[in-house]
Amino acid sequence: MPSGPLAPHPNEIDFIVADKRVLLVDDVLYTGRSITAALAALQHYGRPASVELLVLVDRRFNRHLPVQPDYYGITVDALDEAYVKVRWQETHGEDEILLFDKKP
Q: What is the pLDDT along the chain (104 residues), one digit of tens a residue?
A: 557 787 877 777 888 999 999 999 999 998 899 999 999 989 889 999 999 999 999 988 878 889 999 999 988 887 767 778 888 889 889 988 887 777 66
Instruction: Name the CATH code of domain 21-100 (choices 2.60.40.10, 3.90.100.10, 3.40.640.10, 3.40.50.2020).
Output: 3.40.50.2020
72: how many CB neighbours lie within 10 A of its CB?
A: 17
H or E, element range at 41: helix 33-42
Eight-state DSSP code of residue 42 = H
pTM comes to: 0.77
CA-based R_g, the chain, Å: 15
Q: How far are the Cα atoms of 6, 70, 99 from residue 29, in angstroms, in the given order? A: 21, 12, 14
Distance CA 44, CA 93 (A): 36
Distance CA 28, CA 103 (A): 14
Domain ranges of the chain: 21-100
